[in-house]
């Protein structure tokens, strides 16, 4: 079977993650990359053995008819590039956040439907090994009813030297609602949506902890009530150490994972027995899970596995659905619901 063709527009840090993953897919050939910087485009092409590089995405789309276009530019340029891709009849796999305002998403969604093109947003953590394990526990009934989900993302974006607070070259995230935190809200939003389903109500609080920071806000808290359960979410630009913690509490067990440290996952089951003894049993079980997970995590790093656990699975599934002419891996209406939730959460004035 002939290989599928992909191209990538925007050759920054996240592009390297895409290209690393794509190099591992047997059924995909990356035909070209594009960046407004000639050197960056050529460096990406040289590094990954890609035949062609461009500095204008319209030239690329005129020369090549790819099965999928990866858009990995800063968010403000996603909308016009995606519009050009649809005009050329191409499927789109766009980095998050797909758009800077929800109305732009609605335009893209309509155009994608009209042109019968795929419009995917990178929601890699949905396919993260720990998230898939949690989903299994829910599906199998082992976790019981999901009562609550907590998602806490901590990144020291305010530290000196951080690109998020670089006053010489303002970070692209500052163009988003919610400032640079808006760059991370899609991750929180799609994970919430996975567990809560349709959103009923949201409450948010935005604060600034570091007064010297140029950011409008560096802390975010939210509570989201959904049709299936409730989620408490937070983003901290100051809490240390960095981590992306998820805790799902069910009627039979509680599951905790740090999505930055796959595949470490701690499952705490409700046990029957002498409480003091059970404390010891739980402690030993937890230690074993942490140890095994940590060793596996170290081996993953030494093996050169992408730190973006879930990205390979997501990209692979996307190409597979194109190959088999199936519906896109994440339905467009679900991406819509997440985009809408992001807009609700990022409304700093709430």
Partner 1 sequence: MKVLVTGGGGFLGRAVVNRLLERGHEVRAIVRPSSPTPSWPATVEVFRADLRVQEDLVPAFDGVDAVLHLAAATSGNEDMQFSSTVVATERFLDAMAKSAVKRLVHVSSLVVYDWSKATSCMDETTPLEANPYAMGGYTIAKIWQERVVSRIAAAHSWDLTIVRPGFIWGFDHTQIAGMGRQFGRIYLLFGPLTRLPLCHVDNCADCLVNAVENPAASGEIFNAIDSDDIRVWRYVREYARRTGQRGVLLPVPYRVGLGLAQLAALTSRWLFGSKGKLPSLLTPRRFESQFKPIRFSNLRVKEKLNWTPPLNFGECLKASFHHKR
Site residues for partner 1 per CB under 8 A: 12-13, 16, 37-40, 43, 46-47, 161, 163, 167-170, 301-305
CA–CA distance, 176 with 30 (Å, rounded to integer): 30
C-beta closer to partner 1: residue 292 or 299: 299
Query: Residue 311: CB partners within 8 Å, gap ≥ 6?
Result: 17, 18, 21, 122, 124, 127
Phi, psi (degrees; rounded to nearest 5) at 140:
-75, -10
C-beta closer to partner 1: residue 304 or 349: 304
Could you tell me the smallest distance in angstroms from the CB atom of residue 214 to partner 1?
A: 9
C-beta closer to partner 1: residue 254 or 300: 300
CA–CA distance, 92 with 81 (Å, rounded to integer): 10
CA–CA distance, 265 with 289 (Å, rounded to integer): 7
Could you tell me the smallest distance in angstroms from the CB atom of residue 180 to partner 1?
A: 15
Could you tell me the smallest distance in angstroms from the CB atom of residue 142 to partner 1?
A: 33
C-beta closer to partner 1: residue 5 or 162: 162
Could you tell me the smallest distance in angstroms from the CB atom of residue 191 to partner 1?
A: 25
Q: Report the sign of the C-alpha dihedral through residues 78, 81, 84, 88, in that order.
A: negative
∠ CA 303-309-311, rounded to 5°: 115
CA–CA distance, 171 with 155 (Å, rounded to integer): 15
CA–CA distance, 180 with 189 (Å, rounded to integer): 15
Could you tell me the smallest distance in angstroms from the CB atom of residue 261 to partner 1?
A: 16
C-beta closer to partner 1: residue 16 or 254: 16
Strands 243-250 and 253-258, sheet pairing: antiparallel
Helix axes 332-345, 102-115, angle to 10 degrees: 170
C-beta closer to partner 1: residue 144 or 214: 214
Could you tell me the smallest distance in angstroms from the CB atom of residue 60 to partner 1?
A: 19
Phi, psi (degrees; rounded to nearest 5) at 133:
-65, -40
Could you tell me the smallest distance in angstroms from the CB atom of residue 19 to partner 1?
A: 11
Closest-CA residue to 146 (of 203, 200, 226, 223): 226
C-beta closer to partner 1: residue 63 or 166: 166
């Amino acid at each position: 079977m002939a290989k599928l063709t992909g191209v990538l527009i925007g050759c920054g840090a996240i592009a390297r993650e895409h290209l690393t993953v794509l190099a591992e897919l047997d059924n995909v050939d990356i035909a070209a990359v594009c960046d407004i910087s000639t050197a960056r485009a050529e460096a990406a092409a040289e590094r990954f053995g890609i035949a062609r590089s461009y500095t204008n995405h319209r030239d690329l789309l005129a020369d090549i008819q790819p099965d999928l276009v990866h858009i990995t530019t800063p968010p403000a340029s996603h909308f016009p590039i995606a519009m050009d891709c649809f005009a050329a009849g191409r499927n789109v796999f766009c980095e998050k956040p797909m758009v800077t305002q929800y109305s732009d998403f609605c335009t893209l969604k309509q155009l994608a439907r009209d042109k019968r093109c795929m419009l995917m947003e990178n929601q890699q953590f949905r396919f993260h090994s720990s998230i898939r394990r949690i989903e299994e526990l829910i599906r199998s009934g082992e976790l019981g009813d999901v009562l609550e989900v907590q998602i806490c993302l901590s990144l020291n974006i305010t530290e000196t030297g951080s690109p998020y607070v670089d006053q010489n070259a303002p970070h692209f995230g500052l163009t988003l609602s919610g400032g640079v935190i808006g760059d991370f809200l899609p991750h929180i939003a799609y994970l919430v949506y996975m567990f809560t389903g349709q959103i009923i109500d949201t409450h948010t609080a935005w604060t600034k902890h570091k007064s010297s920071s140029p950011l409008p806000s560096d802390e975010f808290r939210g509570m989201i009530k959904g049709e299936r359960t409730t989620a408490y979410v937070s983003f901290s630009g100051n809490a240390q150490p960095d981590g992306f913690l998820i805790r799902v509490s069910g009627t039979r067990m509680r599951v905790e994972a740090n999505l930055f440290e796959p595949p470490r996952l701690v499952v705490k089951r409700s046990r029957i027995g002498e409480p003091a003894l059970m404390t010891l049993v739980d402690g030993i079980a937890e230690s074993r899970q942490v140890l095994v997970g940590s060793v596996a995590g170290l081996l993953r790093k030494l093996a050169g596995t992408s730190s973006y656990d879930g990205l390979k699975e997501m990209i692979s599934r996307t190409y597979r659905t194109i190959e088999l002419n199936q519906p896109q891996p994440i339905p467009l209406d679900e991406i819509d619901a997440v985009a809408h939730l992001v807009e609700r959460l990022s409304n700093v004035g709430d």
